[in-house]
Each structure stands twice: as C-alpha cells, then as structure tokens.
Amino acid sequence: MKTIRICHFVNHITGKSDGVYTHLMMLFKNLDRSKYEQFLVFQGNEKIENELKKMGIQVHVISSLNKKFSMKSFVQFYKFAKFYKIDIIQTHFLKPYTIGGLTNILLKRKMIHNYQGLFINNLYNTKLEKLFYKVAHIIIHLFKSVDLAIAPSFTSKEHLLSETKLFPRIEVYYNGYNLNSKSELNVELVSFIEKLRESNHIVAIIARLEVQKRIDVSLEITKRVFLNHKNIFFLYFGDGPLENEMKTLADELDIGESVKFMGFIPDIKDYIKYFDLLLFTSDWEGLPLTLWESMAAGVPIVSTDVGGIREIIEKEKCGLIFSKNSISEGAAAIEKLILDKELRNCLGKNGLEAVRNKYNISSFIKSVEAIYDSI
C-alpha cells in the first residue's frame, strides 16, 4: 500500500502555547506512520526543528514566510512539494493557504485548508491585504486548487461559511485530548500552587498574552471579583507581546494582591488539575485546545461566547458562558462556581467523562483519517 505524503504548511508557530502547534503534534505523534508520512514546512524555529527531527518528521524551513509578501516563498514551496512528491497539502493560516493554493494550480495535488477561527476578514489585515487575499481566494476556487476546508467545530464552520462560500465543502472535526499524555511535573511549581490553595481558590488563565485573548478583560473581571472575594487568586500562564502592558494594567487596577503572571510553563496542561476553574476571555476562537485540557483535568470552564466553545460547554454541561466583553457577567460566573462547590465538581466531572467517551485521541485520529481518505 502506497504511503500518503502529507505536508503541513504553516507560517506562525512558536512551540509554546499556540494551539496550532499542539494540534500538529497530535497528528505527528498519532497518525499511522505505515500509512501516512508527514512533513512540516514553516517559518523556522530551532526548538521546533530539533523536536520534530527527533521524532523523525521531515522539516523544511522557508524563512521568507516571516515577510508580509515574498515571491521566494511561492518558488520554494513549489520546489519542495514537487521534489518530495507530496500527495496532500494541508495549510494552516491564511498566508500558507494562499501560497499553497496558488502554487497548487501547477502542482495539482490534493489540498485541505485547516480553518482556525480567522480567514480574510480580520483585524490583522490591511484593506489592501484583504483585497489581495480575496482575489487569490477566487483564483484558487476557479482553478479548483483546494478540495475542502476543515473546521474545529460546527460553529466555526458556520463562521467560515458566513465569510466565504467558495470552498467546495467544509468538514468538522474535534481535536479532543489524549488522556495518556503526561509529563514530569515541576515540584517547585506544584508546591507553590498547593501552598496558594491553602487559603485561596485559584482561577487560571492559560493563554498567549496577545490581542485575541483579551487579557485586559480578564484583569477587569479580576478586579470586580476581588472587590467581593479576597480569597480568589488569579494565575496567568503564558507570554506574548502584551506581557509588560498587562502587568502594568494589573498594577493600575490595584489587584496585585490577587494576581500573578507566571510566564510560559511547559506542559501547563498537567497542572490544570490543581486549579478550581479556567477562565477564557478571547474575542475569537476556533475551539481552543485548552478547553479539552481543562475538561480532561475535571476542571470547569468560564468562557466568553466565541467560536465553538458554547457548542461544547452547553452540550457537555462542563462550564459557564458569558457575553464577550461583559465584565459583570464574567465575574458573576466565577463567583457562582467558586461559591457552589457541588456545581463546580459536577461540571468538572461532566467534562472529564465527555473526554473519556467522545473527545479522545482515538476519535480525533479516526475523524482526520476519514477526511484524508475522502479526497
């Protein structure tokens, strides 16, 4: 049986807390290697390159992906895909979709676009860039260079359809979580958290400190909660471009007694079990992998109503939803769960059972293989 060669094409992963990299690692570790040979083409990162090479994954760096636009990226990707006789091009993010789709007019390979919650109409693109990407998307459609898009939730599928009807079809998958995924814990960190728990309930925020995650909203919620409850502590895990700005904001809000920024912690998923709940305040999402990690740890979620989060939280009864940017609703949801231990435990148990029975690594891999086989 012929091995299917799949090239994952991405332009922005850090190997830290980014969901796309976690998603890719699930594929690299769990797809049947006798059936699928996987490659990664990306912008370059020494840590990621070393990690994947140890796993036997072929890595190709196109450094020009770091630029806004470069013809060199098109040429290099075309040469790579042709030389390695790639069967399926799987793009992640808009730039790789555009480069992959336009070069695939000549390559004529199968192609999948992995939608992550943002496409052309987003705040990162200027009007000129949006125009360029829209024209490219139309050309890719006309030349039938893409076979389908895949979305991490049914809500994400609807969001993509509301922006474009040009994909031949859109399939839905759920990432889920691998319950057997464990790592060695940092003893000092565990000791710190456990000591903090002796006199506090702990709300954790696990996110890149960037615009999308609206850390400013979470800090405003923290202030609102702190006014009424001095025994609730907020721990922030992650780094990013807004780190200094958010620390300054915390000082300005005078909530230093209830907040600590922990920075990026490797394998933070394995520490979630020590928290009382997780808080999400994003402006947009596809379906964050931290949601599955929280469910697997038996910890309830309080989240803004974005992406496919409501889809899972309401169906599995594993958390509470509040309106985007509503400080009062977010604070009220946190207070409700902290004050009601029975409800908190019930929601956490529901999440864990859902991951065990539905959203596990086996279900995820089967759904992905079915998508590959369908094209």
pLDDT at position 17 is: 66
Residue 180 pLDDT level (bands cut at 50, 70, 90)? confident
Q: Examine the domain organization and report whether 171 and 198 are in the same domain.
A: no
Q: What percent of the chain has pLDDT over 90?
A: 86
Q: Examine the domain organization and report whether 140 and 155 are in the same domain.
A: yes
pLDDT at position 176 is: 87
Q: Examine the domain organization and report whether 209 and 318 are in the same domain.
A: yes
Q: Examine the domain organization and report whether 192 and 167 are in the same domain.
A: no
pLDDT at position 2 is: 83
Q: Examine the domain organization and report whether 226 and 131 are in the same domain.
A: no
Mean pLDDT, rounded, of the chain: 94
pLDDT at position 178 is: 85
**182 domain residue, yes or no:** no
Please tell me the total count of domains within the chain: 2
User: 269-325 pLDDT, tens per residue?
Assistant: 999 999 999 999 999 888 899 999 999 999 999 999 998 999 999 999 999 999 998
Q: Examine the domain organization and report whether 169 and 203 are in the same domain.
A: no
**181 domain residue, yes or no:** no
Q: Examine the domain organization and report whether 102 and 224 are in the same domain.
A: no
Q: Examine the domain organization and report whether 141 and 198 are in the same domain.
A: no
- Range(s) of the domain holding residue 166: 4-176+360-374
User: 12-50 pLDDT, tens per residue?
Assistant: 888 876 789 989 999 999 999 999 999 999 999 999 999
At 282, which CATH number? Answer: 3.40.50.2000
* 3-class SS letters over the chain: CCCEEEEEEECCCCCCCCHHHHHHHHHHHHCCCCCEEEEEEECCCHHHHHHHHHCCCEEEECHHHHCCCCHHHHHHHHHHHHHCCCCEEEEECHHHHHHHHHHHHHHCCEEEEECCCCCCCCCCCCHHHHHHHHHHHHHHHHCCCCCEEEECCHHHHHHHHHHCCCCCCEEECCCCECCCCCCCCCHHHHHHHHHHHCCCEEEEEECCCCHHHCHHHHHHHHHHHHHHCCCEEEEEECCCCCHHHHHHHHHHCCCHHHEEEEECCCCHHHHHHHCCEEEECCCCCCCCHHHHHHHHCCCCEEEECCCCHHHHHHHHCCEEEECCCCHHHHHHHHHHHHHCHHHHHHHHHHHHHHHHHCCEHHHHHHHHHHHHHHC
Query: Does residue 184 register a pLDDT over 90?
Result: no
User: 255-266 pLDDT, tens per residue?
Assistant: 988 999 999 998
**249 domain residue, yes or no:** yes
